[in-house]
Amino acid sequence: MAFYHCLLFDVDGTLLDFHASEDAAIRETLAYFSLPNDETAIEKYRTINDSLWAALERGEIRQEKLVVQRFASFLQEYGADGDPVKINDHYLTTLSEHAETFPGAADALKELAEVATIAVVSNGVERVQSGRLERSGLGDMFDGIFISGRVGASKPSRRIFDYALDKLGVDNRAKVLVIGDSLKADIAGGNNAGLATCWCNFTNAELPEKGVKPTYTIQNYDELLHIVMEEEELLNVGNPEKRHQFPIVQ
């Protein structure tokens, strides 16, 4: 029987390579509206966007305002004309069409779904995340998809985790593992909710001496399997004729 019976996954930077998707979508969007789209402009957009998402995590701005404000600020920075609402709409549509997965993510989810309830808990925009998960082929693997815009709460608030666990019917919080790449959103959020956490450190970054601490750290999905599964279950990994025979216990 698996060590953890419920796994709550982040999306961007965890299952899907958001940086590759974002880069393609923002370049296409800026070019479409004849706005500056050289490397300096791309970096300026990212700085504005990152600062607004950090404000969201601190509870200082709502998501529906954030997604428009980033383009309003970008236009102001360059003294350019444009409708930030239309630019954002085009960007979100374009972004939803890009869904590059991290190596090993799909195979790991197939194995983990055999031994645990698996779900998504994401701060992303609903139509973007739903579209990207569907396009990636991962969407049908989950028992639940909980996105902040729909739930009305964002990570690192414990409310979004409480909501997800309630809807999934999971009571034993000691058997729940939060998996994500953001220390400020995923790991801090899991800590706030009293849940074990796994930091996806795919870029081999250093863990700050001060701040939130994850229960586990992984650099690839094979390591996640070894955290979640017991030895008997690991023996069945990759063998389609001998699936895991252990019941899911919540």
10 in active site: yes
Q: Position 204: which residue type?
A: N
DSSP-H helix ranges across 139-186: 148-151, 158-168
Alpha-carbon distance 121 to 123, whole Å? 7
Both tokens of 54, joined, read 């950090």
Return the exposure string of 154-173: e unless at least 16 CB atoms fall within 10 Å of the residue's CB, then b: bbbbbbbbbbbbeebebeee
The phi-psi region of residue 137 (left if phi > 0; otherwise alpha if psi is between -120 and 50; otherwise beta) is left
Alpha-carbon distance 3 to 222, whole Å? 15
Residue positions annotated with a catalytic role: 10
